[in-house]
Amino acid sequence: MSDSSLSERPSLESLRSHASSTSIQSQPDTLPPAVTGRSAWDGSELTPEEYVMELEADEMENIRAAVISFKLLGLPRGRIDKETFPLQLGLAKKLSSLSNEIHNGRGVVVVRGLHAAGFNDEEAVIAFAGVSSHVCPERATDSFADQTLSHIRDATRDKVPDWARELGLAGSKLPTAMDFHADRFSGDVLALYVRNDGSSVGGGDQFVASFCRIYNELLDVAPDALETLAAANWPFELKHPIHKQPYLELGPAMFLAEGKPICQLVKAPLLGSPKIPRSKSMPPLSTDQTYALEVVEGLARRFGTRLDRRNGDIQFIHNLSVMHARSAYSVKPSQGRSARHLLRMFLRDPENAWRKPRGYLPKFEDPFALGREQNLPILDMDPWRKITGRESHG
């Protein structure tokens, strides 16, 4: 994978050199064997023909009818599900079958064709939640800021209210590049609806990489980095939900369950972000942790690929086995901001969900707690919103 906005990372030769210098030549007994099957892929193997599902004209019309049907019910958007967003049996089965590919296949699926529907902002949110409910029926809600759906856009030129002057902006509200990561304890499946890809001004390309492929490579050339990732001593900076003060939480960046590696490596709470610096009260990363970050990023860039993207796409990315990244994007000189705009949710399908390590199960389960009010805003009027991105994203 190559992109001029993404800097180079260490080569495999340097990784092998490091492995030799640290005298770790064999696979540690604590690590599962290499991952087999379609989830461990190189970027050259993941082609749009394989992961894009094109909607037929009648299927798009069926989705449009379901949007109108839901609006007529007069229910809050948090009530959108397979029953309140009914689709014809053939399309419903087609969407439901995508979950198996997301969880047990490549981990990347794109539903294409909704741009032709010409949805307004409200209809787009309804369509996004409705279609997604047929793929993965459960939606996550962030317990810190009570968000179910968030808007990915450039908010750097929004007028900052007095109460938000000390908050800064999360990475999802900035036009800067984001390294490869997997959003931590946010949900099993990342869903993104491309309202505007920003292609009129350029940048903002999306990239994906198989963490299973990265795991296999590290098992061969630098297993010490995997042991570092699995150690429960990574210093994540979190923020207290009431008094907003930062506090330290130690934990792994990679989990192991039933022989599968689960990536939950996110950099913002480890390194800080452009608008939210890391608190000086937090300990720095160790040399081994810094090395592990560099190694994973380098291999993700080597084995990753650019995601084929068009306006109207709904992207489903398995957040446990696939890492994602973004290049920086530009702003429109006439507007002083970018038109790039994506909607984001995190989902789960109980029938296909991966098992989680028992000791951390409450953290994986928390976003899907029953009874939590779901907030699916049509417009992003509050980009500061308690800065949920500080903990989990980027």
Other beta carbons less than 10 A from residue 145's beta carbon:
18
Mean pLDDT of 160-178: 70
**pLDDT tens digits, 265-278:** 999 999 987 767 89
Predicted pLDDT of residue 380: 84
How far apart CA 212 and CA 316 sit, in angstroms, is 17
Q: Does the pLDDT at position 86 exceed 90? A: yes
Other beta carbons less than 10 A from residue 21's beta carbon:
8
Give the CATH number of the domain where residue 137 resides. Answer: 3.60.130.10
Least confident of 162-176, 260-274, 362-376: 162-176
- Reported residue count of the chain is 394
Predicted pLDDT of residue 50: 95
How far apart CA 320 and CA 191 sit, in angstroms, is 13
Task: Read off the pTM.
Answer: 0.90
**In this structure, are residues 168 and 387 in contact, taking their beta carbons and an 8 Å threshold?**
yes
107 assigned to some structural domain? yes
Mean pLDDT of 314-325: 98
20 assigned to some structural domain? no
Higher pLDDT, 24 or 330: 330
Other beta carbons less than 10 A from residue 28's beta carbon:
12
* Number of domains comprising the chain: 1
In this structure, the strands spanning 206-210 and 322-326 are antiparallel
How far apart CA 295 and CA 291 sit, in angstroms, is 6
Q: Does the pLDDT at position 51 exceed 80? A: yes
Which of 34, 141, 140, 123 has the alpha carbon at shortest distance from 85?
Answer: 123
Q: Does the pLDDT at position 181 exceed 90? A: yes
Least confident of 17-21, 32-36, 314-318: 17-21
Predicted pLDDT of residue 342: 95
Least confident of 58-72, 151-165, 345-359: 151-165
Which of 155, 254, 149, 141 has the alpha carbon at shortest distance from 191?
Answer: 149
pLDDT band at 1 (very low <50, low <70, confident <90, very high): low
In this structure, the strands spanning 341-348 and 189-196 are antiparallel
How far apart CA 22 and CA 29 sit, in angstroms, is 17
376 assigned to some structural domain? no
For the purposes of burial, counting CB atoms within 10 Å of the CB of 118, is it exposed (0-12), middle (13-18) or buried (19 or more)?
A: exposed
Torsion of CA 249, 250, 253, 254, to 10 degrees: -120
Percent of the chain whose predicted confidence (pLDDT) is above 90: 71
Q: What is the DSSP letter of 264?
A: -
**In this structure, are residues 262 and 189 in contact, taking their beta carbons and an 8 Å threshold?**
no
How far apart CA 110 and CA 322 sit, in angstroms, is 14
**pLDDT tens digits, 114-146:** 999 999 999 999 999 999 999 999 999 987 777
Predicted pLDDT of residue 27: 44
Higher pLDDT, 26 or 256: 256
27 assigned to some structural domain? no
**In this structure, are residues 344 and 136 in contact, taking their beta carbons and an 8 Å threshold?**
no
251 assigned to some structural domain? yes
User: Long-range contacts of range 244-253, CB-CB < 8 Å, 24 or more positions apart?
Assistant: 244/386, 246/279, 246/281, 246/282, 248/282, 248/283, 251/360, 252/360, 253/229, 253/292
Mean pLDDT of 33-52: 97
350 assigned to some structural domain? yes
Give the range of the structural domain holding residue 325, as residue numbers without chain letter.
43-368
Instruction: List C-alpha distances in Å: 23 to 264, 278, 358.
Output: 27, 34, 33
How far apart CA 263 and CA 136 sit, in angstroms, is 20
Least confident of 74-78, 222-226, 271-275: 271-275
Mean pLDDT of 336-356: 90
Predicted pLDDT of residue 144: 74
Predicted pLDDT of residue 323: 98
Q: Does the pLDDT at position 394 exceed 80? A: no
Least confident of 159-168, 170-179, 208-217: 159-168
Least confident of 144-153, 203-212, 350-359: 144-153
How far apart CA 170 and CA 312 sit, in angstroms, is 24
Predicted pLDDT of residue 382: 65
In this structure, the strands spanning 254-257 and 260-263 are antiparallel
| Amino acid identity, position 381 | M
Q: Quick one: tokens of 90?
A: 């053939």
Tell me the torsion sign for CA atoms 234, 235, 236, 238. positive
Predicted pLDDT of residue 353: 98
Mean pLDDT of 164-182: 78
329 assigned to some structural domain? yes
**In this structure, are residues 249 and 238 in contact, taking their beta carbons and an 8 Å threshold?**
yes
Tokens 């608190």: give the residue: 279
319 assigned to some structural domain? yes
pLDDT band at 163 (very low <50, low <70, confident <90, very high): low
Percent of the chain whose predicted confidence (pLDDT) is above 70: 83
Mean pLDDT of 189-210: 92
